[in-house]
Amino acid sequence: MNKTLTAEAMMNQIPDGASITIGGSSLSRKPMALVRALARSGRKNLTLIVNVGGPEVDLLLGLGVITKVIYAFVGFEVMGLAPNFRRARQNSNVTFEEWTEYTVMAGLDAAIKRVPFLPTRAGLSTDVLTVNPSFRTITDPFGGETLVAVPAIHPDFALIHVNYADERGNGVILGDGHIDVLCAKAAKTTFMSCERILHGDELQRFGRDVQIMRIHTQGVAELPWGAHPTGCAPEYRADLRHMEEYMEATGDLERWHAYQDRMVWVDHEQYLDRMGGRESMVSRLHV
C-alpha cells in the first residue's frame, strides 16, 4: 500500500469547480507547495473552505481561479491584511461567505458525523447570521431555545501539510493541529504533503502526535519546506521577509506577473532555489 504521489499527479485528480478545504492557520503550516501546484494545474472555478486563511487563499484569489470562499478569517496575522483577499472582497465577482471559527469546524464535523447540521449558540446576535445565507436558526426541542443550525460542509478535496507521514498515509503533526484532522476526515479525497516520509514503524513511535489516520488520506507527497512561506513548527518559522516581498508584488499587475513567473510557475525544487536554496533557508528560518 503506497499512496505516494507527486503534487502534479494529485492536482490531475482535481476537476474544475471542485470544493477544496485547506488546513493550517494564516501563517502556520499551510500546504503552500500543494497550493502552488494547484495554481499551476490551471484548475478554475474552485471553492475554498478555510477556517483561518492566509497566503493560500490570497494567492489563489490573485490568480483568479476562485469563485467562492467560505472562511472565518483571512489575513496575514502580524503582517496585516491579505491584499488580494481585500481587493476581491471589495471589488470582484467572487462569492464570499463569512462563517466563524467554530462553525467551520462544526460544519466539517457534521459532514464527518453524517448529520445535516450541528447546533450552536455561536453567531447569535451578530451580523454573521445576517450576511451568511447558509445558516438557519432552529428551536431546541427540549427547552425551546433559539440556536444556530450550522449546515454540514462536504468538501471534495482537502489539502494539508504535516511534519512526517508514512507511505500508507498516516501523518504526524508536531505543532498546532489547527483543523487539519477535520479537513482530512470531512473531504472525499485528502492529499497530504509532508516534510519527510518515514517508514511506518518509525512513524508509529510518535504516539498521539500521529494525528492523521491513513483511512482518511488518498495521496502523500514528500515536499520539504512545503509550508513555505508559512511556518512549520517545530522546524521553521514563517518567512516574513518573503511575505513582505509577496505583499509588495500584489501592488500592481506587472510586479504580480513577475512574482508568479518567479515563484509559482516553477516546480518545487526551483522554488527552493529561488528562495536561496535549502542551506540559506535553514540559516534564516530554522528555529
Partner 1 sequence: MMEYTLDELMIATMAHQFSGEVMVSSVTAFGALAALVAKKTHAPELAVLATPESGMEVTPLPTLTLGQFLTDVQRGIPLTMEEIFDAIFCDLFRIWINPAQIDQFGNVNISAIGPWQQPKVALVGSRGIPEDTSHLSQIFYYVLHHNPRSVVSRVDFRSGAGNGPERDQLLGRSGAPTLLVTDLGVFTFSGPGGSMAIVSLHPGVAAEMVQERTAFPIAGLTDSFAITPEPTTEELEIIRTADPLEVRKLELLSGDKAAEKFVAIYERERQALHVAWPTRSRI
The H-or-E segment that residue 184 falls in is helix 180-186
Residue 152 grid coordinates: 454540514
Q: Which of 113, 241, 274, 278 binds a second copy (CB under 8 A)?
A: 113
Choose the contact partner of 98 out of a second copy, partner 1, none; CB within 5 to 8 A by kind: partner 1
Residue 76 grid coordinates: 496575514
CB-based contact 225:236 (threshold 8 Å): yes
Choose the contact partner of 116 out of a second copy, partner 1, none; CB within 5 to 8 A by kind: a second copy
52 binds partner 1 (CB under 8 A): yes
Q: Which of 176, 248, 269, 273 binds partner 1 (CB under 8 A)?
A: 176
199 binds a second copy (CB under 8 A): no
Choose the contact partner of 119 out of a second copy, partner 1, none; CB within 5 to 8 A by kind: a second copy
Q: Which of 17, 42, 200, 277 binds partner 1 (CB under 8 A)?
A: 200
Residue 49 grid coordinates: 473552505
12/264 Cα distance (integer angstroms): 17
Q: What is the 3-state secondary structure (H, E, C) of 49-105?
A: ECCEECHHHHHHHHCCCEEEEEECEECCHHHCCCHHHHHHHHCCCCEEEECCHHHHH
Shortest Å distance, C-beta 137 to a second copy: 8
154 binds partner 1 (CB under 8 A): no
129/118 Cα distance (integer angstroms): 15
Shortest Å distance, C-beta 265 to partner 1: 27
The H-or-E segment that residue 254 falls in is helix 253-263
Shortest Å distance, C-beta 268 to a second copy: 30
Choose the contact partner of 282 out of a second copy, partner 1, none; CB within 5 to 8 A by kind: none
Residue 241 CB burial class (10 angstroms; 0-12, 13-18, ≥19): exposed
Going by C-beta distance under 8 Å and a sequence separation of 6 or more, which residues neighbour residue 279?
Answer: none
Residues of this chain, 132-171, that bind a second copy according to CB under 8 A: 136, 138, 140-143, 145, 147, 149, 151
Residue 110 grid coordinates: 457534521
94 binds partner 1 (CB under 8 A): no
118 binds a second copy (CB under 8 A): yes
Q: 258 vs 219, 239, 241, 253, 269, CA distance in Å?
A: 31, 19, 17, 9, 18
Q: Which of 243, 234, 282, 232 is nearest to 77 (CA)?
A: 243
121 binds partner 1 (CB under 8 A): yes
Q: Which of 100, 163, 189, 250 binds partner 1 (CB under 8 A)?
A: 100
Contacts with partner 1, residue ranges (CB under 8 A): 1, 25, 27-28, 51-52, 71-75, 78, 81-82, 85-86, 89-90, 98, 100-103, 105, 112-114, 121-128, 131, 146, 170, 174-179, 181, 185, 200-201, 204-208, 210, 213-216, 231, 233-234, 237-238, 240-241, 287
Contacts with a second copy, residue ranges (CB under 8 A): 113-121, 136, 138, 140-143, 145, 147, 149, 151, 207-209
